[in-house]
A and B are shown apart, each in its own frame.
Chain A
């Protein structure tokens, strides 16, 4: 009996110790070894970023030339004023709609909508206006015969930093501007505003400033950011707000912000037996296109290549129009031209940057000359068309270069200045330089030989910075939401580091925008986008670990059940024996 007692005790101890080891050592060990490594992410900062609050600030300097202010008014100048405008743009209506719908549909995972989805965006615009009188050198510059020369000499005197504007107020007697024009917008960051006679007689300075304000506001809308531009740049977050049609068409036409672009120039020669074409593409690119790209280098990197394609026809047969004595392509058939050609264009296999294609098509001798007609059957002067987010095609007729008795093939030198003029205009449109029609009474100077005015560059930088910040914010918040929802994705250290650096860059970019340092803001926003895209598209973030609950049971039960059953049974036996002994003891007592 004693032996069985000892053995029974030993059995009980064994069962208890096994159970203890399983619970104290086994379960935590299993938990730690099956958990996925997730590095720490700055989730609270990301949530703060989700409610995007952008503060944009622009510096404007208003300079009064002699003859615009009376001596009493002049005493009060110099003066600084600050104006704030607040706008709230509602969050993505569609997103809210989808959240509500998904809550009704009970998706596989619960959609924690309150934490992360894009909320309303608040925008605050601040214009810091400084008023002062002109210096003697500026007065001399304003005495030049034409507005363009005045603009040039004013630019020589002082160069405004990017993002800022200088507006010169000139008296009515000045002969710089033609009769019906009140405002001249220069190639750099200056504008000339002509004051009208009744504005300055017998008014105090405040009244004068109040009278000038609408015109200055108009100048700001043209040369600096406007609410419509910023809303269009935020189109990721506020997609389904119908703005005005032109701005939406602009946003569809221009390429989205990307760290690099590839530009390809192609010469299409369908008839090499008749035309031997020669184009000095390297020289033309160096002279005409490179200055623009150098100016745009803060925005993105550009790489260029060129090619010549032989025996490539347009996909559409042009019709002969006897009234014009030429072959015509009407605007409706242009849409079908691009696809057959695109199959033949190559692209750089190594990079994933968006590609801008510029094609120069020289029609074959049987279809020369070839003109493009618009909807009203009028000839298009540039003889070119472009496709949004793709590129442009120009038709170059060479039949004027030779008579009918010449020997074929004819050697033709293509006039690259004309060709590049058209391509440059198309490049501007595709990169997002908006061609808005200025308000009445405005004269806009043609952009210089680089193809881009300074204030146009500023506008591009504003909208790019805002777009980059909005896109990076959306990327980071959706990445955080994704990692939150799917608990099985491993978050490596490098991803956490990219996310942290993206968050830091975003905060810095927004701070720089608030102060008005446009160059730094753009640079930080580019860093933010690069880091956020790298984190979001990291190959290690692939979620392939969807286990429905029945599969989890099917995996663990055969492993753990055979082990647990004897332990549980012996536990039960111990408990029942203990209870029985207690009952016997009680019975013995009584």
Chain B
């Protein structure tokens, strides 16, 4: 139980009108010490259905624990608790023994799995209850399953394969993956539009760029070499500098500069191709 509270990030405490108002802040304090990282919200049971809180927003819901007597239960209320809980979240409430089986039926119909009584009647959770209520009832812990009810899981429809030769390979599960079955098939997220590639020619580059062939970064087919030959041939044809800024780096050279491709140098200096890494 302690871990459940310690891990919780958000808790909802539902109280009914018969609560002694002084008990609420005290309860909150005690609860906060048990659930250090949790955000604790309080709501009057009458207001709950109207407030339409977000689905799956609480780790724990505590119902009717602060009041002296056990509140009446109804299906609508439990359905709402179920909706508000996160998958694997917990509902904790106190139930009279005489109405126990009916309550458990309610729980199950809403979709709660694993409903169990706790035998810790000394828990801080019910310290506000009358003694006779404590004697005639128990704390119950119900958990919402990890699958959201109503969430449809797509069925694989492979039909009968031609050959029946396809076999599953359970023995070959990679040890470094978590259960793949826990995940949706991400390919289902894509539609036909997604599978199309963009039309490169339609890219608006905002200038009058011609559609020049470009080699890939890790060109392994030889196009990069080919393009380079073409560019070098073109550059060789212009021998005279048009701007006089040849000695500055490529950032300042004009398009036809004979020194294009070389690092900057001092004016008048003879420049050779640096052979820094000619392996």
A and B bind: no
Residues of B within 8 A of A (CB): none
Residues of A within 8 A of B (CB): none
